[in-house]
Amino acid sequence: MAEKRGNVWIFIEQEGGKIANVSLELVCKGRELANRLGVKTEALLLGNGVADATETVIHHGCDKVFLVEDEALEPFTVLPYAKSIVDLVKKHKPNILLFGATNKGRELGPRVASELLCGLTADCTDLKIDDFDDKINKKSYKDKLMQIRPAFGGNIIATIVNTWEDPQIVTVRPGVMKLAPPDKSRKGEVEKVAPEITDTEKVVKVIERIRKEKDVDLQASQIIVAGGYGVGSKDNFKLIEGLAKAIGGDVGASRAAVDAGWISHDHQVGQTGVTVRPKLYIACGISGSIQHRAGMSESGKIIAINTDPEAPIFSCAHYGIVGDLNEVIPKMIKAFKAKV
């Protein structure tokens, strides 16, 4: 008789009263993993006044939502959340538990894993189900979660397998999983859970929250014009901004340009920045290291402008322009304005 396998769980994170995109991306990926395993997809929706989000989560692919509402869960503090999740995991024994690699997910996931004495793989860029043969210990594992992420500074892609007790816990980078459209005909179950939060979990309180708005939300951008170290200077970034403005796009950058102080980190695309999937990505003066390409290679159309015909960026570009961006960009702006 086959061993009964637990379900796939997703922690649902909310930002400003809305479900974070990464959580919905994980619901879609969780649905794919659950189908492969023949189990259900279930969501953990914790907070204060979050019940309205259950329908959206179900429409994106969840079979069931554990709804945990309590005043102690608002504003977000780690201990009450971790305690509630650990209690649920111990009771229902899921096979896989997914968190977004956000500030909340990176703080919460390791605490849950530590309490449960199980493994965690951080910043995954892909997830698959496959069999694993442990040749050292001469053991075989069926249908394990292949946890795929960049390693050694992004120079290799590592596949990590957790052979410890379930759940297999991972955090996943925002923007790397495809977000499927909701199916409003889907039905699911909602189970309300009363959390057992003691004074021990309430020792930390948020006295004041100071928010700084991001300069730009590149993950929502459909057109991105990105500049790299090849732009030459902070003043030259005005060319990037001019092209972005002319075609209705946002400004992105490589890590080298950000490290040089030419633009803020909010604009950084790549392994240590954000992962984007715009309809159009124009890379200007970007050599195209593997770390940068990991964050933009899934763009709909990629145009690369570089003086070096051997630049790695051309390997993922749909169209390449070998030339000086100081000459090419003004011509592109002029041509675009002529057609408007």
Per-residue pLDDT tens listing for the chain (340 residues)? 345 689 999 999 987 678 999 999 999 999 999 999 999 999 999 998 899 999 999 999 999 999 999 888 876 788 899 999 999 999 999 999 999 999 899 999 999 999 999 999 999 999 999 999 988 889 999 999 999 998 876 677 899 999 888 899 999 999 889 889 999 999 999 999 998 888 888 888 778 877 777 778 898 899 999 999 999 999 999 999 999 999 999 999 999 999 999 999 999 999 888 899 999 999 999 999 988 998 999 899 999 999 999 999 999 999 999 999 999 999 999 999 888 6
Distances (CA, A) of 138 to 130, 132, 133, 141, 142: 17, 11, 7, 10, 14
Residues 6+ apart with CB under 8 A from 159: 146, 147, 148
156-161 contact pairs (CB < 8 A, 24+): 157/125, 160/121, 161/132
Residue 2 confidence (pLDDT): 47
Q: Which residue has the tokens 């008789």?
A: 1
Spell out the SS3 assignment of 244-298: HHHHCCEEEECHHHHHCCCCCHHHEECCCCECCCCCEEEEECCCCCHHHHCCCCC
Side-chain-side CA neighbours of 297 within 13 Å: the count stands at 15
Residue 242: burial class (beta carbons within 10 Å; 0-12, 13-18, 19+):
middle
User: Which ranges constitute the DSSP H helices of the chain?
Assistant: 21-37, 54-59, 78-92, 103-116, 237-247, 255-259, 290-293, 325-339
Q: What domains are defined for the chain?
A: 8-202 (3.40.50.620), 218-339 (3.40.50.1220)
Residue 1 confidence (pLDDT): 37
